[in-house]
Structure 1
Amino acid sequence: MDDEPAENISGGERGGGTFAESAPGDGANRAEAVVDRLGERYWQKTYGGRDAFECLVRTILSQNTSDKASQPAHDALMERYDGADADLAVALADAEQDELADTISSAGLYNQKSATIIRLAGEIVDDYGSADGFDEYVKDGDPNGVRDALLDMKGVGPKTADCVLLFAGGRDGVFPVDTHVHRIARRMGLAPADADHEGVREAIESSVPPEKCGFGHTAMIQFGREYCTARKPACLDDPDACPLADRCDQVGVYPETGELVDPSDAYEAE
């Protein structure tokens, strides 16, 4: 994977949404307490308002890569295909794959991603008429039905579907789970150590108030980049270096020996 950028753009100024403040919980729920503290450290935002099809494309471009690599690909795609009088879904459904692949090459896996984008654009034009029609469905449709419809699209997984629901639909109670969230929630003990991505999502969404899920997702990603990294979490060298040390079970992290394993491996070893 490419080096992570300095800031998670979904939570920063470029990520859209509106800065807001939410009331802290009473601390009885550890997952909410963690999200509250992350919000104080990074940002509290309400999300929604992005164009749903563009958000879908943006999330596909981000798969298996970083913001640093996928953002230029997104910008190049929008410059080439999002004309003033053209519907983006229609334009991409008619795109030549080799041209689109070249346009998004900085995102990696460009042949696979270009084929997925063209196919999804065609499905959306067939089923919703246009990007605008799809946007209306995502924002006004039943959220469970919208999520199911997104997951029925080949190439769209739970994280992509949830990002569309959050950043385009502005739906409360949606906590997308990427690799950072999956790792951190299990290390901290907010979800079972052997939980898959859907298990982590269900555990967090059942514990965190709906209005806090959006900024909890983006702030947890930033925390994963700064402190709870995959290969060298801050607590591995200094147990007091992590600002959430008092809320963490350190599953799979052993500062005494310097050993680090996946939480699921630590669970199996017990």
Structure 2
Amino acid sequence: MSDDEPAENISGGSAGGGLAAEFDEHEAETRAEAVVDRLGERYWQKAYGGQDAFECLVRTILSQNTSDKASQPAHDALMDRYGDGTDLAVALADAEQSALAETIESAGLYNQKSKTMIAIAERVVDEYGSVDASGEDASDSETESRPAEEFDAFVTEEDPATVRETLLDFSGVGPKTADCVLLFSGGRAGVFPVDTHVHRIYRRLGIAAPDADHEGVREVLEAQVPAEKCGFGHTASIQFGREYCTARKPACLDDPEACPMADLCEQVGVYPATGEVTDPAEAD
């Protein structure tokens, strides 16, 4: 594992309550489940759910196209500036874009990400700020409207498919971001977010088609991995991708037995005899 990366996947935040992965003794029914079970023997397990939904959405946007090491300080700085005793959605909706961009600079793409966050915050305030925490119309109540709380209730209580469709309708929110919110905030079973590591690993293993896009890989994994193991499968696969199945130099190039998945892997796009590594979609 690179010294530049944390030992644990920070994007998951605190363990929180909610869905805990359980690893049964029975024989795995699919190769994908066998991979996740083996990851369960090697990496830490955690519970999913319990994060504030809007903060989780903001955190995941910060993590786009960067490492946890870069995005975590940006998240901490954002919360120090905008999350102290106020509704985060309201604070970001009212934020000056240049000031927000400066605050999250360490995460990279800060101008684009700050514009995305403000636009999403404005939409959350507009769509979820009409009622207060007690359910009364905010215009008829002295209680301050808390849009982020209403948004959190929507994410954790509404039908997952409806939540995902709504999140994907937000500008700047893609499938991986939407799925992370469903997993880390909602604690929803059967959600397997696909980032660049997951996309690479499961095509290289031969579990997903070599030319499958991110959504294609997600569909395969959510169909073949038991619902209660999907959350852990996501975070553990990221750790496995950092430590063993890296993009340019997977462990099997030096030693076929160095990788704990050696007997489960088809090495699509990996050629130990020549030392060549290609994207699985370009493999012979």
Structure 1 equivalent of residue 280 of structure 2: 263
* Cα distance in 1 for residues equivalent to 2:16 and 2:33: 21
1:92 counterpart = 2:92 = yes
The offset of 1:25, in angstroms, is: 4.1
1:133 counterpart = 2:150 = yes
Structure 1 equivalent of residue 54 of structure 2: 53
Structure 1 equivalent of residue 270 of structure 2: 253
Structure 2 equivalent of residue 201 of structure 1: 218
The superposition leaves residues 166-209 of structure 1 with CA deviations (integer Å, 9 ceiling, x where unpaired) of: 00000000000000000000000111111000000000000000
Query: CA 1:159–1:20 in 2, change beyond 3 Å: closer, same or farther?
Result: closer
1:150 to 167, 171, 184: 167
Query: CA 1:212–1:17 in 2, change beyond 3 Å: closer, same or farther?
Result: farther
Structure 2 equivalent of residue 162 of structure 1: 179
Whether contact under 8 Å (1:21, 1:45) holds in the other structure is: no
Structure 2 equivalent of residue 119 of structure 1: 119
* Cα distance in 2 for residues equivalent to 1:127 and 1:105: 28
Query: CA 1:216–1:61 in 2, change beyond 3 Å: closer, same or farther?
Result: same
Structure 2 equivalent of residue 76 of structure 1: 77
Larger Rg: 2
The one-letter code matched in structure 1 to 2:5 is: P
The offset of 1:39, in angstroms, is: 1.2
TM, length-normalised to structure 1: 0.94
* Cα distance in 2 for residues equivalent to 1:3 and 1:252: 27
* Cα distance in 2 for residues equivalent to 1:3 and 1:128: 42
SS of 1:193's partner is coil
What is the Cα-based RMSD across aligned positions, in Å?
1.6
SS of 2:111's partner is helix
SS of 1:150's partner is helix
Query: CA 1:153–1:56 in 2, change beyond 3 Å: closer, same or farther?
Result: same
The one-letter code matched in structure 2 to 1:61 is: L
The offset of 1:40, in angstroms, is: 1.3
The one-letter code matched in structure 2 to 1:5 is: E
Whether contact under 8 Å (2:101, 2:110) holds in the other structure is: yes
Structure 1 equivalent of residue 207 of structure 2: 190
The one-letter code matched in structure 1 to 2:44 is: W
Structure 2 equivalent of residue 64 of structure 1: 65
Report sequence identity in percent. 70
TM, length-normalised to structure 2: 0.89
2:193 to 156, 163, 176: 176
Mean CA deviation greater in 3-12 or 178-187: 3-12
Whether contact under 8 Å (1:29, 1:207) holds in the other structure is: yes
